[in-house]
Structure formats: C-alpha cells, structure tokens
Amino acid sequence: MSGVSEALFEPVIRLGVTGLSRAGKTVFITSLVANLLDRGRMPQFSAAPRIASAFLQPQPDDILPRFDYETHLAALTGAAPHWPASTRAISELRLSLRVQPSGFFGGLWGGLTGPRTIHLDIIDYPGEWLLDLALMGKTYADWSEATLERIAHRTQAQGFMAQARAEDAALRLDEPRAQSLAANFTAYLQAARAAGWSDCTPGRFLLPGDLAGSPVLTFAPLPKPASTPRGSLWREMDRRFEAYKSRVVRPFFRDHFSRIDRQIVLMDVLGAIHAGPMALEDMRRTMAEILGAFRPGQNGFLSSILLGKRVDKILFAATKADHLHHSQHPRLTAITEALLRDARDRAAFSGAQTQAMSLAALRATVEETRNHGGDTIDLVRGTLLETGKQAAMFAGILPDDPNHLLGPARKGEAAWLDADYSVMSFAPARLTLRPGDGPPHIRLDRAAEFLLTDRLG
C-alpha cells in the first residue's frame, strides 16, 4: 500500500531547460533552485505560500553526474562572485517540495494526507549538443550540401573549404585523409563558435567527451561526387554520419528529453542584437531548426521518441534582461516572440500552452535614471567583468516594432543602420542575502508560476 500511495502522491515534474551555449541554462537552474529553496523573492509565484518545505534529494538516475548546485551557487553568491564555467557534460538535480494541496481536492487530499511531496527533476547539458536536434531529419547528402553552402563565404571556413573542394569523395576511403578532413572541420567549428555563430553542428565535435577520436566523430561535409561506389570516402562518411545520429544524438534525446513535461527555452536575444543582424538571423534560423524537431506528426523527430507524451507548456525566455532598463523589457519580449513566431505557432498547434517573457536569472545590475541636458536616460549599473570597476550602461533603445530588427536581419544586412546597441559584461553583484531570500532575479517568480504552479495543486 505504501508503494501505491507513494506512486500516487509523489508526482514528478521533469523540467527541460533548453538553450544554445551561453544562453544562461546553468545560471537559470542554479538561481531557480536557490529561489525555490528560499522563496522570499518569489512574490509572483502563487504556490509559494503552500510550500511547507523544499529540499534537495538524491536524483533518480544513478549513472548521471549530479548537477553541482553548491559549487555553482557559491560561484554566484560567494565573497568574490563570478559566473560558473561553461558546461561540458550532462548532469541532473532533484528538488523535492512538500506542498499543501489547494482548493477542493486540496481539502479532500489535504484532509487525508496533509502536505504531499512533489519532485522537480532538472537536467543541465552543454548547449552545443542541442544543435544536433536539427541533424535528425537530414541525410548526409542534405547536411553536406546545406552546410557547405552556408559556410562557403565565412572567413573561418576557408581552410576547410579548400580541402573539401579538392577532395574526390568517389575515391576509396583513406583513413588519415578522413581524419584530416574531420580535424579541419572541427577547427572551423571552433573558430565559428568563437566568432559568435550559432549553427555549429555536429555539437559533439566541439565537446566530444569520451567519443574523441572515434569514427562517429571522424566525418565532415563533402561535395557529393557523381558516383559513390562501395568503399568510397563518401559512403563511409555517410555511414558515420548515420551512426552519429543513431548512436549519439538519438540516445541523448531519447533518454533525457522524452520524459519532459515542461520546457523553458532560453535565448540570449540581447546578445544577438548586440552582435548585429547576421547574428540575430543566425539565432532565429538555428532556433527554428531546433524547435522544428519538436513539431508534432511524422516529420518531428522528437514526437517519434515521445510516444504520445507531450510537453504541455513551453516558456520562451530572453535571458540577461538585467542589461536593459525594465521600461524596455516589453520590447525585448516582443522581439523574442517575433523571433520565434514559426516555432511558437507550431507548438501551439500541437496543444502546448506557450508564453514569452524577458528575465534575468541572476540580476547583476541596478537601475539608474540620469538627467542629461533636460532629458532623462534610463541606465543600468553594475560591476564590469573585465576591470571590476563600477559602470553605468545604456544599451540602446530597442524598436517598438520587432520587424525593424528582424527585417534587416533576414535581408542579411551587415550592420544596424539607424541604431547602436552596446553591451558590457557585468560580474554578478556582491550580495548579502537576508535569511529566507534567494539570489536577486528578474521574473524568475513569473517563470516558476507559468511552469510549475498548476502542477503543485
């Protein structure tokens, strides 16, 4: 009986935190957990008053590393605050909440059982791996053609492009040449990522882990030759590409995405705007490709492994909103909505409820309004990451109409014509937290409200 009641009364919410590398996943998870443990700064999270206690528990998966919550929190809130390092492998955390049920059923169950335990399971992983979702629907020939076309004019790709063009993939496989192609392609991917491009697949070429040097990572896009005889370089590359999909990408998403109930998609929209129209368009296209995998029906790769289970709520969030005065947050949200228009429509079509918002998982700035020749300007102030000095920043004025940014981005303009967006990197602020308060944030409570409250009934 106790087993049955445990299964009945200890539901699990699996929260998927999705985002490209540097989008803010690790900081989000750390701050969300800290603010669920200490709920003093969560006024808009309506379930908070019913949470009797919150505590970390051993996670359900014994063979996954535990998300290093304590180290990340210490980094963000310690005496010399700094950002956690970029994530290199998958990890998991379970937070358990003792919740007093609400409403009619609350009275009924509450009378019978008192508070019940609800588990929140969260997975963190390197953003690079997410990109591979876009590979699942592609053949090696499709991927090669699209990739070569897209990168042909990028300066970082010139070395690799010269080698790929000179290669005759109809010839017999020669392993050292395959390795040299893969090494040069990897070097291109690293340079492209450093230059700010989002579309750097295959993701494991950048973060190979145990797979470094294995055949599944020893391929590269090539021009398709007229004939592809058995034993040719092309055939072997094709085989390895398929092995990468079936042996690396598919198990990762099957094991970690297939049981997700709730999803938050994080994007550094401001960062892309600051980097210019090409970066914004690259982010739009990359996110559309990734989220395309979530689309329902036969073409959606994820729907084939979700086996009818559906993510029923998806929150799209522009992160690091503390770089911008709050008066501009609605514009940032509107731009995020426009950026994800296609993906959101598809998700809504499949019955998922979606919302967009701007948030900062860890607020590193304070707002300031200055008078300047009779005008007022709204600024944010923080500690500069590079120098450790205090500075005020004016990030530029975002347009009211998102198309003023998305239009030029789609057209491939090299720079914004009539606007200037600056960016500074701030370090986390030094904090003295009152007992019961989590780290400062912007709208983390609203995010929790959307993602969790209805499941904490």
Ligand X SMILES: Nc1nc2c(ncn2[C@@H]2O[C@H](COP(=O)(O)OP(=O)(O)OP(=O)(O)O)[C@@H](O)[C@H]2O)c(=O)[nH]1
- The residues that touch ligand X, with contacts defined as CB under 6 A, are 19, 21-27, 83-84, 86-87, 126-127, 319-320, 322-323, 360-362, 364, 425-426
Token pair in block for residue 299: 């073409």
Work out what residue 22 binds among Mg ion, ligand X, none; the CB cut-off runs from 5 to 8 Å by kind. Answer: ligand X
Q: Number of C-alpha atoms within 13 angstroms, CB side, residue 311?
A: 31
CB of 317 or CB of 352, closer to ligand X: 317
Contacts of 328 (CB under 8 A, 6+ apart): 378, 395, 397, 398
CB of 382 or CB of 408, closer to ligand X: 382
CB of 26 or CB of 328, closer to Mg ion: 26
Tell me how far apart the alpha carbons of residues 373 and 142 are, in angstroms, rounded to a whole number. 58
Work out what residue 123 binds among Mg ion, ligand X, none; the CB cut-off runs from 5 to 8 Å by kind. Answer: none
Are the C-beta atoms of 414 and 281 separated by less than 8 Å?
Answer: no
Least distance between Mg ion and beta carbon 40 (Å): 26
Write the DSSP string, 302-350.
Answer: HHHHHTT----EEEEEE--GGGS-GGGHHHHHHHHHHHTHHHHHHHHHT
Which of 178, 251, 256 minimizes the C-alpha distance to 217? Answer: 178
Q: How far from 146 is each of 95, 203, 221, 224, CA to CA, in Å?
A: 42, 16, 9, 12
CB of 75 or CB of 120, closer to ligand X: 75
Least distance between ligand X and beta carbon 269 (Å): 13
Least distance between ligand X and beta carbon 84 (Å): 6
Which of 291, 303, 147 minimizes the C-alpha distance to 221? Answer: 147
Q: Does the N-terminal peptide bond of residue 202 adopt cis geometry, omega within 30 degrees of 0?
A: yes
Work out what residue 362 binds among Mg ion, ligand X, none; the CB cut-off runs from 5 to 8 Å by kind. Answer: ligand X
Work out what residue 83 binds among Mg ion, ligand X, none; the CB cut-off runs from 5 to 8 Å by kind. Answer: ligand X
Work out what residue 319 binds among Mg ion, ligand X, none; the CB cut-off runs from 5 to 8 Å by kind. Answer: ligand X
CB of 27 or CB of 181, closer to Mg ion: 27
Least distance between Mg ion and beta carbon 457 (Å): 31
Length of the chain: 457
CB of 26 or CB of 77, closer to ligand X: 26
Map tokens 């893969």 to a residue.
Answer: 182
Work out what residue 186 binds among Mg ion, ligand X, none; the CB cut-off runs from 5 to 8 Å by kind. Answer: none
Least distance between ligand X and beta carbon 72 (Å): 9
Least distance between ligand X and beta carbon 427 (Å): 8
